[in-house]
A and B are shown apart, each in its own frame.
Chain A
Amino acid sequence: MEIKKLLFVTKFEELGFDALQSLLSLRKAALNHVVFVNVIERDKVAMRRGTGYRKQEEIRLRETANIRFIDWAEDLYEQGMEVGVYIVVGSLVPEVIKAAQKEQADLIVIGRSHKSMLEQFYSGSDITELIRRTSIPVLVYKPMPENAFVLEKPFERPLLATDWSAADLRAVEYLKGLTDITQMIDVVHVASAKELTGSSAMEIQKTRKAKRQKLDEICDILEAAGTQARSHVYIGEPVEEIEKAAREHQATMIVLGSSAKPAWVEKWIGSIPKEIAEASIYPTLLIPPDQE
């Protein structure tokens, strides 16, 4: 899987041109086309008592976005890249999906959801909804130096967290297409404490060894594709341990297969990919399972 065309979804609050520039290392892989998407939420221009539809406001918002995009596009065009743009009024997720399908994008880049906890509980986060409704990988990008690290090469050292789901295996395929820009991939599995409740140290070590061997199989696949890879087994709560692993191995990004659980299940028991995408300080690339 190559990333030739990237959909860059921005409201200009979190993701700016600096974020996009840090993704241009993907050009060494195959990237040659960037499509900007700005969705003006309906409530910003909706009917108001006494004023009706706020057409003037829509024009102002459209042109403000357009001016920013022209500036960014000029930079990319001059590097010989192809650029497209969508500035639309509507709901974020459906509009992003529409643009991604029309453009046949290989990757969607988006900032974190800005919905409140309450909104997220009732309607889910934009990211959760997006990942559920598309088979295109989604990179939840966090380029701001909020935690004192600024990424220049986000794909240099990805950490792949896996429990060998179908989506995780698709993530491996995805990473194979990025070997020109990755230096090292750390492959991590977090086993729960329950899985290690053998009666002896030997049994516990056996479980660890079995997990490690399965991880090594993924490492072998990645190394055969041309990048170094190392396996690690962690024990504990997945969200905490994956974050810890990313820190310990100086990862530049976390890569996960996203869940295929039904929405109502995720709402009540939670979703590790979603939690990491929302809370981690690392950019998080979510690979959905294949959708027929």
Chain B
Amino acid sequence: MGKKVLVVDDDPDVRLFSVTVLEEHGYTPLEAADGVEGLKMIKDEKPDLVILDIMMPRQSGIRLYRELKTDKSLKNIQVIVLSGIAKRTFLRSQKALTDFGGPEVPEPEIYLEKPVEAEDLAKTIKGVIG
């Protein structure tokens, strides 16, 4: 069984795209449609990598990322952000939350802006978790 990769995205088309890429390259894909569901699956499944969207119902990727990176047992899980939201915005948002008294969190391993080509996504995943 290949390494587990969780795709957290509310867009079913994007999930299908990512899952197809993962399967073709021998990974075991998991799916979640929003931040709340995503966090639960991360805790239950402890994936090797999370491909994370930002703008989603219930809980955004920004909050999920913070929860992940501030949880001792989860913070070493690698994250690729795949979103239409600019990286600059992601970083500013994290800074604003830290300024409001939240903990500091590291930058994600990789930040990709949508859309992304299948080959590029596969290459990026391989670069992060092998």
Chain A residues within CB distance 8 Å of chain B: 35, 66, 69-70, 73-74, 77-80, 82-86, 99, 102-103
20 A-B pairs with CB atoms under 8 Å apart are A66-B84, A70-B85, A73-B55, A74-B85, A77-B54, A77-B60, A77-B85, A78-B89, A78-B92, A78-B96, A80-B93, A80-B96, A80-B97, A82-B59, A82-B60, A84-B57, A84-B59, A84-B60, A85-B10, A103-B58
**3 tightest Cβ-Cβ pairs between the two chains A and B:** A80-B96, A77-B93, A74-B89
Contact B55 A79, beta carbon cutoff 8 Å: no
Which residues of B lie under 8 Å from residue A82 when comparing CB positions? 59-60, 62-63
A113 to chain B, nearest CB (A): 25
Known: A70-B84, A70-B85. Is A77-B62 also a contact (CB below 8 A)?
yes
Which residues of B lie under 8 Å from residue A73 when comparing CB positions? 55, 85
Which residues of B lie under 8 Å from residue A83 when comparing CB positions? 55, 60
Q: Tell me the bound Cα distance from A103 to B10 in angstroms.
A: 14
In the complex, whether B109 has a CB less than 8 A from a CB of chain A is no
Contact A79 B84, beta carbon cutoff 8 Å: no
Known: A66-B84, A70-B84, A73-B85. Is A78-B57 also a contact (CB below 8 A)?
no
Which residues of A lie under 8 Å from residue B58 when comparing CB positions? 84, 102-103
Quick one: CB contact mask for B59-98 with A, threshold 8 Å, 1 for yes? 1101100000000000000000000111001101100110
Which residues of B lie under 8 Å from residue A77 when comparing CB positions? 54, 60, 62, 85, 89-90, 92-93
Contact A70 B62, beta carbon cutoff 8 Å: no
Which residues of A lie under 8 Å from residue B57 when comparing CB positions? 35, 84-86, 99, 102-103
A233 to chain B, nearest CB (A): 45
Known: A85-B55, A103-B58. Is A80-B84 also a contact (CB below 8 A)?
no
B81-130: which residues lie under 8 A (CB-CB) from chain A? Answer: 84-86, 89-90, 92-93, 96-97, 99-100
Known: A35-B57, A82-B62, A102-B57. Is A74-B86 also a contact (CB below 8 A)?
yes
Which residues of A lie under 8 Å from residue B97 when comparing CB positions? 80
In the complex, whether B56 has a CB less than 8 A from a CB of chain A is yes
Which residues of A lie under 8 Å from residue B92 when comparing CB positions? 77-78
Q: Tell me the bound Cα distance from A147 to B55 in angstroms.
A: 35
A79 to chain B, nearest CB (A): 6
Q: Tell me the bound Cα distance from A80 to B56 in angstroms.
A: 16
A167 to chain B, nearest CB (A): 29
> In the complex, which of the residues A69, A82, A86, A102 has the most CB atoms of chain B within 10 Å of its own CB atom?
A82
A119 to chain B, nearest CB (A): 30
> In the complex, which of the residues A35, A78, A85, A102 has the most CB atoms of chain B within 10 Å of its own CB atom?
A78
Which residues of A lie under 8 Å from residue B100 when comparing CB positions? 80
B52 to chain A, nearest CB (A): 14
Q: Tell me the bound Cα distance from A102 to B100 in angstroms.
A: 27
> In the complex, which of the residues B10, B55, B62, B96 has the most CB atoms of chain A within 10 Å of its own CB atom?
B55
Which residues of B lie under 8 Å from residue A66 when comparing CB positions? 84
